[in-house]
Amino acid sequence: MLYREAGQFKSSYAQDQQIFPIRQDRIAFAALMLFALAVVPVIGDQYWLSAILTPFLILSLATLGLNILTGYAGQLSLGTAAFMAVGAFMAYNAELRIPHMPSLGSFAIGGLCAAAVGIVFGLPSLRIKGLYLAVATLACQFFVLWAINRIGWFSNNSSSGVITAQRVEVLGYDLQTPAAKYVLTLCIVALMALAAKNLMRSETGRAFMAVRDMDVAAGVVGIPIMRTKLLAFGISSFYCGVAGALYAYCYLGTVEPEAFTLDLSFLVLFMMIIGGAGSILGSFLGAAFITLFPIFLNLASKQLETLLQVEIPHAIVSNVEAIIFGGLIIFFLIAEPLGLARLWQIAKEKLRLWPFPH
Amino acid sequence: MNFFFEVVAGGLLAGVMYALVALGFVLIYKASGVFNFAQGSMVFFAALTFVSLTERGWNLWLALAVTLVVMVLMGIAIERLVLRPLVNQPPITLLMATIGLAFVLEGISQLAWGSQPHGLELGVPDVPIEWLSQKWNISVSQFDVFAALVAGVLVAALAVFFQKTRIGRALRAVADDHQAALAVGIPLQHIWSIVWAVAGFVALVAGLMWGVRNGVQYALTFTALKALPVLILGGFESIAGAIVGGLIIGASEKLAEVYVGPFVGGGIESWFAYVIALLFLLVRPEGLFGEKIIDRV
Amino acid sequence: MSAPELQVQENLQRVGEVILSVQGVSLSFGGVKALQDVSFDVREREVRAIIGPNGAGKSSMLNVLNGVYHPQRGRIALREHVFSGMNPRRAAELGIARTFQNIALFRGMSVLDNLMTGRNLKMRASFLQHAIWLGAARREELEHRRAVEEIIEFLEIPHIRRTPVGKLPYGLQKRVELGRALAAEPSILLLDEPMAGMNLEEKQDMCRFILDVNDHFGTTLVLIEHDMGVVMDISDRVVVLDYGRKIADGTPAEVRANQAVIDAYLGVSH
């Protein structure tokens, strides 16, 4: 009833191609962005801003990166965490060693270095596919982590390999509070998500999907397969690199290489699968789900504790979490391989007809 | 020179361990075309179940039998609940499903039996063989040799199973072409259950060997990942390849760690096998024993 | 003049010089000889059919023409370019487009997106411009969208432009694949069994589209087809392959009367 498209005709291809073709969607999105940008930093409490919303945004960005490579371009990657690590440590070094380097600049350098690493480890994709490519990315994951650990230069020769992120400064403003870091993260992620959406609905995105669906046919149509695959690795790693830099500067503060293990790569992969491979919105939905679910589980177990008068050790909760995550992956792959994003689409379609059933 | 032999021997025997885990992968991949990312978790679960039972005072053979039954049941359950609904999906989907399965199994293992590491004893001590160390000054563990023998027996048994028995023939038919196997009346789903059960058994053997070597702890699941380079070298569908690949990876990894490691700060073992596999892939994607795939459009 | 003679006159005026020439091409896979010393030429704006029994090497011939397979021996001459093997991308750049026997569409994308990929070689914007969108990328996208919409109208498929291609019935998929090939504005169109699996009505539609393409845009057509009625009706010249060798080459009437062709493929009506 409210969600009708009646009266909204498209009289040009330009109108047909908008990101939000339906007016109600545009209004809702604008409202959401306004709320997130102007209201949340003011009313949000410290815990929510620094421990939930900011990491949610950062992980969404990482998932976006993985989605570009695996969801859109079909190149399976298990090295997401390694690219994030490169972004974090190179941003640190850029800020440290280049005088007068602005924070945003070091984030960008982190991203570019990650892109370079991504392209190098993406070279095998020109000859190998699928599972074999996953092994190549595993090699990347383990090698990069070892290199960052062993080569003192990365952590400025700190004995434990731990680095402490410097202050974040944008346009002269010192961003110390959780609210400030949240707003910075939100702006960066929003802009990069817009860029990703633009990329994926343009010829670049079509080339990625063509290579994913049938690369022989893509070549026949004139798409440069090699360049397309390397571009996918490069762009994806750039996104993961920036996410890694934000992870260090706006979330963790002190960073050790162990923050970027294979488990993190799997976590981001889960976010992509649950949220929906090949969907920008899906990256956010999946990250939201996986960020919020452990909190929900913790709350539930606390309730259970008071209800049953027993103490539930943390180990049990985290194991149940692992079981449910794994189970959900399997469930989604069976029931709705396109994840939460597809479920969202279906819900919207039903909403258009509401209150009528069909 | 003696030291070199010692390193090589140690590496080869470590390679046997890798090969044991790789065998499970090969079985499942051969029969159902699925790469079972959860094989490492199965190894972990088997070892953990066995050790928890023996620590509670159960007789070794009884614990073994019960664990075996549990693994077989688990294999059948996996086939029914995870694989059957996903039967026509592309391989990347199945791979991701087994990643999810790995997490589920790890969670269940630790939920059921706790997460402390356990030591494992099988009756064969981990001490150097007397006459080798006395006569030639080479230190080779008794247990390692025992593990190699076990692996040899297992491989021989599997080879006989596949080549000589009716079920083995059916498994090979299924591995080659699902539709054709169905067409001649082979019950596909029974076969897959059997394969996963056998893979569970192989996981148990691997779990026991690894458990004695490294203790039964969460890190065991990462051995699954080490099997990947083994499979790339040996091909995903060859039992002989798994053995040869395992030996090559094991030996080269140890040699690299010992001879190259000191120059770069050590820790090479975490990535060396993968990089070797990567380089190999660029030259010969189908592995030493695999078949070249020709893409017909 | 009689009607057939008039037709021949018209054809001679439409058909131009030799644009594509296959010279002594041999292709084998392992021990299987797919093509053995095949030579023929194709003239500009003509409709050239390749026929023959299954396994004769017809699809392999097409694959050689657009670079998917590399022949062990022989050469292809395309206007002034001569090559013994090229990659599919180069073939596309030289103006060759094709459809496949088993439909090589991008199943995850909509009809519209599939057709837009056909415009790939004409798009100039870099990925950075795509990321920004406003400006060059948006202008280019709209311009090519207009071109593709014309093809959508031409092929009568506007109602399915947003449908994911994997969900379409076989006949429509084949039409979409033709659309993608047309989107590239090719000078030579290779069609691998464009009418396979279609009913009579679909075949007539497809015939109409193909002939329109040849008429209006002057596209040279090389097509593999099993339906003899279609081949005899629409082709200017026919090449007959059997077991990888060429056994006949000429007008439909000549080929139909050729004894070797009758023995190998056509049979005799009783």
A119 pLDDT higher than 90 = yes
Instruction: Pick the residue from chain B with its C-alpha nearest to A337.
Output: B93
- Mean pLDDT of the residues in chain A: 87
CB proximity list for B41: less than 8 A, separation 6 or greater: B101, B102, B103, B105, B106, B109, B221, B224
Q: Distance between CA atoms of A18 and C53, rounded to whole angstroms?
A: 50
**Residue B297, pLDDT score:** 47
A269/B267 CB distance under 8 A: no
Preferred mutation among B292, B294, B296, B297 to probe C, highest tally of C CBs within 10 A: B297
Q: Distance between CA atoms of C15 and C9, rounded to whole angstroms?
A: 10
CB-based contact, A329 to chain B, within 8 Å = yes
B294/C100 CB distance under 8 A: no
Cross-strand bridge partners of residue A175: A168
Which whole number is the average pLDDT over A246-258?
88
CB proximity list for A209: less than 8 A, separation 6 or greater: A72, A73, A74, A278, C106, C108, C109, C113
pTM, to two decimals: 0.88
CA B73 remoteness from chain centre: 19
Are A205 and A50 a contacting pair, CB within 8 Å? no
- Mean pLDDT of the residues in chain C: 88
Q: Distance between CA atoms of C261 and C109, rounded to whole angstroms?
A: 42
Q: What is the DSSP string of C86-105?
A: --HHHHHHTTEEEE-TT---
Using a CB-CB cut-off of 8 Å, the residues of chain A touching C107 are 213-214
C63/B297 CB distance under 8 A: yes
B93/A127 CB distance under 8 A: no
B92/A320 CB distance under 8 A: no
Place A85 in a pLDDT band, splitting at 50, 70 and 90. very high
CB-based contact, B294 to chain C, within 8 Å = yes
> Two tokens at C107?
């199943």
β-strand pairing of C220-224 with C47-51: parallel
CB-based contact, B183 to chain C, within 8 Å = no
CB-based contact, B293 to chain C, within 8 Å = no
Q: Please write the tens of the pLDDT for every residue from A282-295.
A: 999 999 999 998 88
Using a CB-CB cut-off of 8 Å, the residues of chain C touching B294 are 29-30
Are B223 and B18 a contacting pair, CB within 8 Å? yes
Which residue, chain included where needed, has tokens 């996918």?
A: A232
To the nearest whole angstrom, how far is the Cα of C222 from the nearest Cα of chain B? 18
Q: Please write the tens of the pLDDT for every residue from C141-189.
A: 999 999 999 999 999 999 999 999 989 999 899 999 999 999 999 999 9
User: Which position has the higher pLDDT, B162 or B47?
Assistant: B47
Using DSSP's 3-state secondary structure scheme, residue A109 falls into: helix
Using DSSP's 3-state secondary structure scheme, residue A353 falls into: helix
Using a CB-CB cut-off of 8 Å, the residues of chain B touching A134 are 95
**DSSP-assigned letter for residue C110:** B
Query: What's the burial of A310, exposed, middle or buried (CB within 10 Å: 0-12/13-18/19+)?
Result: exposed
Lowest mean pLDDT among A257-261, B112-116, B247-251, C164-168: B112-116
C141/A213 CB distance under 8 A: no
Q: Please write the tens of the pLDDT for every residue from C103-130.
A: 899 998 999 999 999 999 999 889 999 9
Which whole number is the average pLDDT over C207-236?
90
B86/A319 CB distance under 8 A: no
To the nearest whole angstrom, how far is the Cα of B207 from the nearest Cα of chain C? 41
- Residue B236's nearest CA partner among B192, B286, B275 is B286
* E strand or H helix that includes residue A170: strand A168-170
Of B95, B107, B271, the CB nearest to A143: B271
Q: Please write the tens of the pLDDT for every residue from B13-31.
A: 788 888 888 888 888 887 7
Q: What is the DSSP string of B41-79?
A: HHHHHHHHHHHHHHHTT--HHHHHHHHHHHHHHHHHHHI
CB-based contact, B92 to chain C, within 8 Å = no
C125/A203 CB distance under 8 A: yes
Q: Distance between CA atoms of C126 and A300, rounded to whole angstroms?
A: 50
**Residue A112, pLDDT score:** 96
Which whole number is the average pLDDT over C62-78?
90
CB-based contact, B264 to chain C, within 8 Å = no
Which residues from C are below 8 Å from A when comparing CB atoms? 66, 68, 87-89, 91-93, 97-98, 100, 104-109, 113, 116-121, 123, 125, 127, 130-133, 137-138, 141-142, 145-146, 149, 180, 184
**Residue A314, pLDDT score:** 79
Which whole number is the average pLDDT over A106-123?
93
A13/C146 CB distance under 8 A: yes
**Residue B287, pLDDT score:** 66
> Two tokens at C94?
């030289």
Q: Distance between CA atoms of A28 and A24, rounded to whole angstroms?
A: 6
Exposure class string for B186-217: b at 16+ Cβ within 10 A, else e: bebeebbbbbbbbbbbbbbbbbbbbbbbbebb
- Mean pLDDT of the residues in chain B: 81
Alpha-carbon separation of residue B292 from B81, B231, B286, C247 (angstroms): 33, 15, 6, 33
Using a CB-CB cut-off of 8 Å, the residues of chain A touching B115 are 315, 319
Residues in chain C: 270
A323/B111 CB distance under 8 A: yes
Beta strand segments in chain C, E: 18-29, 32-43, 47-51, 73-78, 81-83, 96-99, 188-192, 220-224, 237-242, 245-250
> Two tokens at B246?
């395992």
Lowest mean pLDDT among B37-41, B226-230, C6-10, C198-202: C6-10
**Residue C2, pLDDT score:** 56
